[in-house]
Homo-oligomer: A and B are copies of this chain.
């Protein structure tokens, strides 16, 4: 009798998951929603007018999905602006030739003086090498961090993790030895001329020096010049600045659960995106996929038992203020979260989910595997949830992140090339379907 029931439940589950996939592959709205966000709003860094427009857009789309309510949760966000387009030249001191280099300021960086900075460049590969060179070799120079992402990692996020310290902490480390600026090799595996921005951090007890990224192609050229001529120089001019914090919002759509309305399942992505591109993969994709989950449930007539919240988080890129504010409110209100799921690794074909969750949750998750394998969703072994939901960890909330194929992500991540045309409709839809299927399974599971 037990077996018959369990078997029937599996059959019902597979029928429902098939419905989810059919619905999204035939009728999805996520692709056209992303087209609108990318084309009509574009890059939308926290505090910008575009970010404000994106909040309105998110609220509108949510309201079209018949929610119980939509909340704009206020959150004060940093307001960094790039200012005029950056300019830099690599100066071959042997020939006197100046060649323009493709650079961009890192998010949070201070500007150069109005006349720019010009200095000799010294190439280093890690903070240990920097320390060994010391003040004698570094003082007055531009430090060029040029350790490439390691291409032999199969998952490109591992290559990113292994290199991004140069971007995040390059300036705060280099300034200790008297550097006047830092130029970091872009965090990308492809050799091209798109500089990758991204956030960086100062040590507040040390002086702040300008920090920029150079394209991978520019990094290769600069390194080649330095091999021949240690006195190669660069000139850099940036005019970015940090303005006072601005009020912005997490956009929260809520659909009351029919059985357990005071228990929540969160699904989301982040609404803010770097100003240089359109934030298509990072993370417009995650936003439209998360909203698509509720569109699918509505369309197939599935009424979740738990309350579903679709959250478009503000300020993942340079502060995580939205994620922190959401978690704080949940804690203050003593809300019970069954799970939080994030899509923030690009709108590529999904391969699985990673988890940061207690055993009581993972024990049930392993039963989901055979139900998702027919949809090429097979990898449940990764560790970690998404960035915006990570502040929920201390409340013991099971965290989940959608894991798409990662090969192309760092070709466009944080660049002017993160645009709508880089997103494939079906790949985006399959991500939304995988999340909807997982949420359906979580919603219908009795965890023990």
- How many copies, total? 2
* A411 beta carbon closer than 8 Å to chain B: yes
* A405 beta carbon closer than 8 Å to chain B: yes
Select A154's contact among B152, B374, B411, beta carbons within 8 Å: B374
Chain A contact residues (Cβ within 8 angstroms of B): what range? 20 to 34
* A425 beta carbon closer than 8 Å to chain B: yes
Stretch at the interface among A18-26, A77-85, A245-253: A18-26
A21 to B349, CA, bound (A): 22
In the assembled complex, the CB of A140 is this many whole angstroms from the nearest CB of chain B, namely: 36
A376 to B407, CA, bound (A): 12
* A408 beta carbon closer than 8 Å to chain B: yes
Q: Would A378 and B375 count as touching, CB distance under 8 A? A: no
* A151 beta carbon closer than 8 Å to chain B: yes
* A193 beta carbon closer than 8 Å to chain B: no
Query: Which chain B positions have C-beta within 8 A of A375?
Result: 154
Q: Would A376 and B351 count as touching, CB distance under 8 A? A: yes
In the assembled complex, the CB of A291 is this many whole angstroms from the nearest CB of chain B, namely: 20
Query: Which chain B positions have C-beta within 8 A of A189?
Result: 426
* A55 beta carbon closer than 8 Å to chain B: no
Select A407's contact among B26, B156, B411, B424, beta carbons within 8 Å: B424
In the assembled complex, the CB of A196 is this many whole angstroms from the nearest CB of chain B, namely: 16
A303 to B181, CA, bound (A): 51
* A190 beta carbon closer than 8 Å to chain B: yes
Q: Would A407 and B378 count as touching, CB distance under 8 A? A: no
Given A424-B411, A425-B190, verify A154-B376 contact (CB < 8 Å).
Answer: yes
A357-414 CB contacts (< 8 Å) to partner B: 374-376, 378-379, 405, 407-408, 411
In the assembled complex, the CB of A30 is this many whole angstroms from the nearest CB of chain B, namely: 14
Query: Which chain B positions have C-beta within 8 A of A22?
Result: 152
A3 to B349, CA, bound (A): 39
In the assembled complex, the CB of A445 is this many whole angstroms from the nearest CB of chain B, namely: 24
0 or 1 for each of A14-56: is its CB under 8 Å from B? (1 = yes): 0000000110011000000000000000000000000000000
* A427 beta carbon closer than 8 Å to chain B: yes
A385 to B378, CA, bound (A): 23
Select A152's contact among B25, B151, B411, beta carbons within 8 Å: B25
| Given pairs A154-B374, A156-B426, A408-B424, 19 additional interface contacts (CB within 8 A) | A21-B152, A22-B152, A25-B151, A25-B152, A26-B151, A151-B426, A154-B376, A154-B430, A189-B426, A190-B425, A349-B405, A349-B407, A351-B376, A378-B378, A378-B379, A407-B426, A407-B430, A408-B426, A408-B427
Offer 26 A-B interface pairs, CB within 8 angstroms, sorted by A.
Answer: A21-B152, A21-B154, A25-B151, A25-B152, A26-B151, A26-B152, A154-B374, A154-B375, A154-B376, A154-B430, A189-B426, A190-B425, A349-B405, A349-B407, A351-B376, A376-B379, A378-B378, A378-B379, A405-B405, A407-B424, A407-B427, A407-B430, A408-B424, A408-B426, A408-B427, A411-B424
